[in-house]
């Protein structure tokens, strides 16, 4: 019996019967020889961590565009916080922690530069060109792992991880309980760390948060995280679903609505978003007309895979970091000083 088989056997001994066992995966699109060391979900986690899209998250906006302080969250630190919360819940419920972690680490791989402002800019551009679905970061995250990584080969992840990545949004529902943990953990993470960042930016104070939410959730970030995580665990224990109590869920969604009013649409916090959207829209129009300027692997998607030009242009732009957007814009539109050596 090799190390992977021992791990699969241990899952049978430790995990509850509602968990997704590694040995029962629905598999990958392309069959592979099993690892002798790692379960299928451990391999998926490792593939995500080592992929280029994951590394780029460190230079992508979470809420505040290019903040000067070192302490604001980025898309990468958000992802890590989601993964940690999700692992805590999965372990307490005796669900598959490796599957949960893989989904959490991959859930935002398709996010654009400049956060949801970038997502809105690309979505508007696609809709203006007749693509009614627009751009959705969770769909793009799946496209990253299925088609864009490894020069068009994709990561060939298991069906359960791909399902969790695609369906982590509010209006969707993953097939596995592990995916549903990530769906909750994403909200728990971003609501609380965005409050923390907003307080650091002097956009909010703890006293601004309505008492109807703090009386239930707590008055500090750590208190709120502790309350929400405990509630998911206690409410879900012994059930065939991952849930929250009604009072806690109402308080969390109410706090989320408060954040939309106070932070996510705050003119101070969002003052630079108009410029960010303009940059992305200009790049979109440029590359749509100059596909020869795209990297070779993206050109191959157009000519060999027959993907629409508009979608491939969004693939390229969505994969950029905040700084690289500025770099490409300057390369294309800002005149360079004349340099000639006699």
Per residue in 184-216, pLDDT (tens digit) is 999 999 999 999 989 988 889 999 999 999 999
Domains of the chain, earliest start first: 3-332 (1.10.3210.10)
pLDDT tens-digit series, residues 254-284:
999 999 998 888 787 677 888 999 999 999 9
CA distance 89 to 75: 21
Reported as a pLDDT band with limits 50, 70 and 90, residue 148 is very high
How much is the pLDDT for 65? Answer: 65
Is the CB of residue 100 less than 8 Å from the CB of residue 243? Answer: no
SS3 269: coil
How much is the pLDDT for 39? Answer: 98
- Give the CA angle between residues 27, 97, 152 to the nearest 5°: 45
How much is the pLDDT for 336? Answer: 77
How much is the pLDDT for 118? Answer: 95
pLDDT tens-digit series, residues 27-73:
999 999 999 999 999 999 999 999 999 999 999 988 776 556 678 88
CA distance 337 to 110: 35
Is the CB of residue 309 less than 8 Å from the CB of residue 300? Answer: no
79-83, 94-98, 223-227, 274-278: range with lowest mean pLDDT = 274-278
State the average pLDDT for the chain: 94
């Amino acid at each position: 019996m090799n190390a992977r088989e021992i791990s699969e056997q241990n899952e049978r001994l430790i995990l509850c019967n509602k968990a997704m066992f590694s040995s029962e995966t629905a598999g990958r699109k392309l069959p592979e020889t099993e690892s002798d060391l790692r379960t299928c979900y451990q391999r998926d986690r490792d593939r995500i961590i080592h992929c280029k899209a994951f590394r780029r998250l460190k230079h992508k906006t979470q809420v505040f565009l290019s903040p000067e302080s070192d302490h604001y969250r980025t898309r990468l630190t958000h992802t890590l916080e989601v993964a940690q919360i999700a692992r805590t819940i999965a372990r307490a419920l005796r669900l598959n922690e490796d599957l949960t972690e893989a989904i959490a680490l991959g859930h935002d791989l398709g996010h654009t530069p400049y956060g949801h402002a970038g997502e809105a800019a690309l979505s508007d551009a696609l809709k203006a060109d007749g693509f009614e679905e627009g751009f959705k970061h969770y769909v793009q995250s799946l496209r990253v792992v299925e088609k864009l990584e490894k020069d068009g080969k994709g990561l060939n992840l298991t069906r359960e991880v791909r399902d969790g990545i695609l369906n982590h949004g509010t209006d969707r529902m993953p097939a596995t309980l592990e995916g549903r943990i990530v769906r909750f953990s994403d909200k728990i993470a971003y609501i609380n760390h965005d409050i923390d960042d907003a307080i650091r930016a002097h956009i909010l104070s703890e006293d601004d948060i309505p008492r109807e939410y703090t009386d239930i959730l707590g008055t500090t970030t750590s208190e709120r995280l502790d309350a929400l995580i405990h509630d998911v665990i206690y409410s879900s224990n012994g059930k065939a679903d991952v849930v929250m109590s009604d009072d806690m869920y109402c308080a969390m969604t109410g706090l989320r609505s408060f954040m939309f009013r106070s932070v996510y649409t705050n003119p101070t916090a969002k003052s630079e978003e108009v410029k960010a959207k303009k940059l992305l829209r200009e790049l979109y129009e440029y590359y749509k007309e100059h596909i020869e300027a795209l990297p070779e692997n993206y050109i191959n998607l157009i000519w060999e895979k027959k993907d629409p030009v508009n979608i491939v242009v969004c693939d390229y732009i969505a994969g950029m970091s905040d700084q690289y957007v500025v770099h490409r814009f300057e390369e294309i539109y800002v005149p360079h000083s004349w340099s000639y050596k006699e």
